[in-house]
Every structure is written in structure tokens, then in C-alpha cells.
Amino acid sequence: MGMYTQALESLDHAVSLSTTQPGSVQTTLSNLRTSILHDRSEANRRRLDRETDEGRRQALLEAARKQAKKAKINYVQHLPPDVLVCIAEQGLAVKMGMVCRHWREVVCSSPGLWGSLTVGKGRPVAKARLWVERSGGRIRELRVEEGFDERIRGQVRPLFPASSL
């Protein structure tokens, strides 16, 4: 039972007992009743204001959460594959393939990006096989770094029958 309800019940009980009392007591009790009712309505109004403020606060927090989520969206993921390929053609195919799965799929499935190969000391046979596979067998440019080992040259040569490795 609420505080105001208890006070009003006690007051009503006092009024019922005081019906034989003079008018001043009746007036005092009536004024007290009015005061309690006023205080209760004010308390209810403040509670509603707090709830409204809490509702507004919750709405603002939700809006802020949505804004933060929107800010985290990676709009680069929405680039069409042909734009990604144009960017990768600037010599960034290998690096772009390391960004994410989608970019890797786009870059690896574009044979035109793999037409130029530089073979050096770092795993040249594996690299040559991968480039030939990704280019669809259409390597347009082949560069060999200084100090290329003759033994490795023999392993790479079958991958490029028309070249003079």
C-alpha cells in the first residue's frame, strides 16, 4: 500500500471518528486531506515526468547506438567487383587479396591481374605455379631477379614453355 493511500485511509478514519467534534477539527482534517491529495498528484506527476524523461533518454540512447553501428559499417565492402579490379590493376592485387575474403575472391578470380610475374629467391616454383593458375596460363610479362639459382630455373622452366628462362 502506498504512503499516500495509508495517509488518506488514516485521515478518513479520523474524520469518521470526529463527526461529533467542532467544525475547526473538521476543517483541519479536510485541509489535511486536500493537502495529501495534492501531494499525491504532484508525486504522480513527477513520477510520470521521470518515466517520460527515462523514455526520452532510452530513445536517445537507442538513436546513438544506431548511429554508432552505422558508423561501423564498412561501405568499401559494397564496392562492385569491377571497381575492385580497377584498383587492383594498379599493382595492388596481392595486397588487396589479404584484406578480406570477398576481396580475395574477386582478385583471385580476375586473370588479368596475374599477367606479370617477378620470380626471385622466395619460393619461386610455388609462386610461378600460383601465378600461372590465377592468370589462366596467360603470363604476359616475366621478370627474373638477379642471383636466380640455375637449379630452380630448371624447375620453373616447364611452367613457361615459350619463354627463354
Per-residue pLDDT of 17-28, as tens digits, reads: 655 555 666 677
* Partners of 116 in the β-ladder: 141
Global pTM exceeds 0.75: no
Dihedral (CA of 130, 131, 135, 139) sign: negative
pLDDT, tens only, 60-72:
888 888 887 777 7
Give the integer Cα–Cα distance in Å for 63 and 32.
Answer: 46
Residue 156: count of CB within 10 angstroms of its CB: 22
Give the integer Cα–Cα distance in Å for 41 and 38.
Answer: 5
User: Which candidate, 116, 161, 158, places its Cα nearest to that of 135?
Assistant: 116
How far from each other are the two terminal CA atoms of the chain, in whole angstroms? 96
